[in-house]
Structure 1
Amino acid sequence: MLANGKFKNFLALHVPILQEKYWPTLWCFESRLQTALASLLRSIYPNVKYSREILELNDGGQVALDWLEDGCPANAPIVIILPGLTGDSQSQYVRCLSLSANRMKLRTVVFNYRGLGGMSLKTPRTYNAANFEDLSEVVRHVKSLHPGIPVAATGISMGGLVLGNYLASQKMAAQKTLVAAMVISTPWNAFKAMDSLEKPVLNLLLNRYLTSGFFSFINRVKSSNMLQGPWTMEDLLKCKTVREFDSSYTAKQFGYKDVNDYYADASIHEKLHKIEVPILCLSARDDPFQPYEAIPVEEACKSKYVAIVITQYGGHIGFLEGILPVLHEEYMCRLFTQYFEGIFTSGSELLAEISKDR
């Protein structure tokens, strides 16, 4: 674990899983296999019966907020969950975290990005890894609905970039609204993430699978007649990799000079010094979406607020354990629940102590 000072001491005392060694499922420890198999095994979980709320945004757009509060006290703390690239509240890794939190009597609300979660677009704007304006509105809305209730947030993969950029860029607002945060399998450095994903053969296959998710998104929302911008559908259909799609669509749609300009804005590996909310980060050394050398080890060691847990294995949003993983609660879920339980039950002292250092 990479951390510094009071936050590191808090984690050592209140998150006992960090004293254990993570042992991946022996017959699928290879990173790409972990990534694919975790997705397959989690797909057996039943769909979660959320309570849906439609949030109207300031620019006329809307997003779906899916709440899981069954069996939780009315004053239970809340964790906002940000899915990955094209994920939503029913994505297998989101269901896994939501159900684990519910067993601990913690409320969760999944922030489905524009055009996802079965929602149609109301404006031409979609979403990207650097843009946190919608998240800012979601956080303010959740806090306004539940004054006095502690709220935290978790971002998975690309959701970690959105959350990280929010924490780094909205420092004062984040301190007032979120008591803590967590990110899982975040591609810290978008440039190195794309380089890794473009390595043949298996990584490139994962890359093309992700790109197919973009096309599924485009097909779902184009019927709304809101999908428009300084790009052409002909160019999009030629894209075979995430970088090509971001160059043809994302960078143009959001006014970036080019895809490199977008990736520089989205990356958070050089922004940790701007974060002043306690944030626990889980990364695997063998994550095909983010090589070990791109994890900001030195920056985390200098921060009072950032802790990074790096496992030797785990792949991307994998972290399976046990001979039969389906019968064993997963490492990332155990870390997720232990961390937030510690924050919500004993974190007030930590927050008071580190606030003196700001």
Structure 2
Amino acid sequence: MISLELNFNVLTRDLSHYLENQVKVGLFGSGVGLSLVLGFSAAYACYYLISVAKKPKLVVGGEKFNTFLKEQCPVVSETYYPTFWCWESRVQTLLRPFVTAKPGVSYRNELIRAPDGGQISLDWFDNDESGPYPDTSVRPTILLLPGLTGTSRESYILHMVQQCRDLGYRCVVFNNRGVSGEKLLTPRTYCAANTEDLEMVIGHLHRLHENAPIMAAGVSMGGMMLANYLGRKGRETCLKGVVVFSAGWDVFECTASLEKPLDRFLFNSYLTSCLQASVDRHRPVFEKHYDIDHVMRAKTIREFDERFTSRMFGYPTNDDYYRDASPIHRLKSVQVPMLCLNAADDVFSPNHAIPVEAVKQNPNLALLITCHGGHIGFLEGMWPRQSTYMDRVFRQFAKAVVEHGGNLRDL
């Protein structure tokens, strides 16, 4: 309570100081207007501190993992203060790409060939200036998986690379087929349910750096793919830990949420057009196998998946694909420490579909739920250019797994 009163006093004092110096009293006549502004500001500050800024809910399947997180990742116990002027879910989601900085990162690209003849683009940040790990053979490797139509140039990926650069780690970004400018050699792209390419990439990293610890971070669909991979592999993986951000746990619930009128207008139609643009870019490869004109007339992600994705990967129906793509069904089989961050107000992954009970049944799982943050938002601070709450969770968990991962054995 003392902390709440202190924050309230500091915030109202700063607002008063700003208004006294920046607002011309004459604009408000006798000063009544200024009093109204101060009163409104104080009321808003009170509402924010009581109803918006809250500690996240931490759900952990086992006491050992719970203790590890609280000792090594203090962010899981700290109050999350969303940016006070844009804490609403949709606003956070829409503004993140525009208000956050894009750190300068120089990648080294590698194209690897898949068994079906396709190619996968990997963007490496080798971090050759690493002070803590000058020996490349043991330098920790962090595998990053972007979202549905994302690449290594997304701001949230660049921020994670920046965090790894500061820690001395090496990064590699797994770009899904056909999205990062490389030529598509076969009529196949990607989906959340199919983890063959991911498995091949992880094996490739392990062969290149056998003595280096490897962990992975996935965002949105990238997180879904990672969770499905872990559920399939169990203990048969070289990954030491995984962190997942804004994953959609039940695809049926995700698509239903995104088909509500406002969310369909703000997000669904745009993402559908991005998916269609990627298909159209590689039309010569696809047109012998699919009715591309029919695909291009899809109005929602569900329609796109019905006409393209589920058919590409051989599912009898789109419902079969969505069931297989939903990570919630595989969480019980995850045998690697995995921390998942979701916002309760994320329209892409609605609160009622977040797998709280499933996480409680597996000692390898932890779920961090913030009241606000939207989808890959998690903006904090007055002007959230350089860092977000999500970045802090990533940095602390990556460092904990790499430097204290021995404490997580035999969860």
* TM bucket normalised to smaller: over 0.9
2:113 aligned partner, one-letter code: E
* Equivalent residue number for residue 131 of structure 1: 194
| RMSD after superposition | 1.3
Match 1:296 to one of 347, 352, 355: 355
* Equivalent residue number for residue 338 of structure 1: 396
Q: CA deviation at 1:7?
A: 1.0
Q: Match of 1:53, SS? A: strand
- Contact 1:136/1:166, CA 8 A, preserved across alignment: yes
Match 2:115 to one of 55, 58, 73: 58
Q: CA deviation at 1:228?
A: 4.4
Q: Match of 1:261, SS? A: helix
* Equivalent residue number for residue 88 of structure 2: 30
Tell me, in whole angstroms, the C-alpha distance in 2 between the residues paired with 1:186 and 1:288. Answer: 11
* Equivalent residue number for residue 382 of structure 2: 323
* Equivalent residue number for residue 172 of structure 2: 109
Report whether the alignment pairs 1:263 with 2:322.
Answer: yes
Report whether the alignment pairs 1:10 with 2:63.
Answer: no
Q: CA deviation at 1:227?
A: 2.0
* Equivalent residue number for residue 216 of structure 1: 277
Which segment drifts farther, 244-253 or 67-76?
67-76
Percent identity, please. Answer: 41
Written as runs of structure 1 = structure 2, the 5 A alignment for 1:68-147 is 68-70=125-127, 71-72=129-130, 73=133, 74=136, 75-147=138-210
Tell me, in whole angstroms, the C-alpha distance in 2 between the residues paired with 1:286 and 1:161. Answer: 18
- Contact 1:279/1:306, CA 8 A, preserved across alignment: yes
Tell me, in whole angstroms, the C-alpha distance in 2 between the residues paired with 1:49 and 1:345. Answer: 26
Tell me, in whole angstroms, the C-alpha distance in 1 between the residues paired with 2:289 and 2:303. Answer: 15
Q: Match of 2:229, SS? A: helix
* Equivalent residue number for residue 40 of structure 1: 98
Note the residue ranges of structure 2 that are not aligned, 5 or more in a row: 1-57
Tell me, in whole angstroms, the C-alpha distance in 2 between the residues paired with 1:266 and 1:29. Answer: 30
- Contact 1:69/1:102, CA 8 A, preserved across alignment: no
Deviation digits for residues 276-329 of structure 1 (CA, Å, limit 9, x no counterpart): 0000000000001011000000111111001000000000000000111115x2
Tell me, in whole angstroms, the C-alpha distance in 2 between the residues paired with 1:229 and 1:281. Answer: 40
Q: Match of 1:122, SS? A: coil
Tell me, in whole angstroms, the C-alpha distance in 2 between the residues paired with 1:243 and 1:106. Answer: 38
Bigger Rg, which one:
2
Number of equivalent positions: 347
- Contact 1:189/1:269, CA 8 A, preserved across alignment: yes
* Equivalent residue number for residue 5 of structure 2: none
Tell me, in whole angstroms, the C-alpha distance in 1 between the residues paired with 2:329 and 2:200. Answer: 25
Note the residue ranges of structure 1 that are not aligned, 5 or more in a row: none
Deviation digits for residues 200-255 of structure 1 (CA, Å, limit 9, x no counterpart): 11444211111111122113222xx3224653012112111100100110011111
Report whether the alignment pairs 1:282 with 2:282.
Answer: no
2:148 aligned partner, one-letter code: L
